[in-house]
Amino acid sequence: MDFGPKEALEKLRKYCAYQERSHKDVSQKMWDLEVPSEWKDDIILGLMKENFLNEERFARTYARGKFNIKKWGKVKITQGLKKHQVSKKCIQLAMTEIDLDEYFKVLRETIEHKRSSLKEKNQWKRKSAIYRFAAQRGFEGNLISEILNEP
């Protein structure tokens, strides 16, 4: 480490400006940069004051991105946010970013995609394969069952 606290703060500003980051991401980056522990709290506070670091904004962006791009369900998104050590309050706010009509549409598309790719003839095996697939994508079991049991 060949830099002072101002240089460390500048490096982390650039790191946060590139894309939304969680507090955990920034802490890991400080570890990677070998930032002395006595600087860490001041750097985090500086990033928050300058609005480079915002947990709620990170959570909302994460949820929106994982749903819109990767088509993840709420369970998997919540697990991802917990890995980033996001607060329960921010996780709940992030879930409001997901439109329920769109959520059901994506779940139906996920189920139909899997259904069309299966060659299994046994109805029970087909349903359980589809259920597992949708659950791995992070959709809630009760919603999967509800759609699978529709006529």
Q: Which of 78, 108, 71 is nearest to 94 (CA)?
A: 78
Count of residues in the chain:
151
Give the alpha-carbon dihedral of 76, 81, 85, 90, to 10 degrees. Answer: -130
Question: Are residues 84 and 58 in contact, defined by beta-carbon separation less than 8 angstroms?
Answer: yes
Rounded CA separation 56/93 (Å): 7
Burial environment of residue 12 by CB neighbours within 10 A (0 to 12, 13 to 18, 19 or more): buried
> Could you tell me the two tokens for 4?
């002072």
Q: What is the pLDDT along the chain (151 residues), one digit of tens a residue?
A: 677 889 999 999 999 999 999 999 999 999 999 999 999 999 999 999 999 999 999 999 999 999 999 999 999 999 999 999 999 999 999 999 999 999 999 999 999 999 999 998 898 999 999 999 999 999 999 999 999 988 7
Taking the whole predicted model, whether its pTM rises above 0.85 is answered as yes
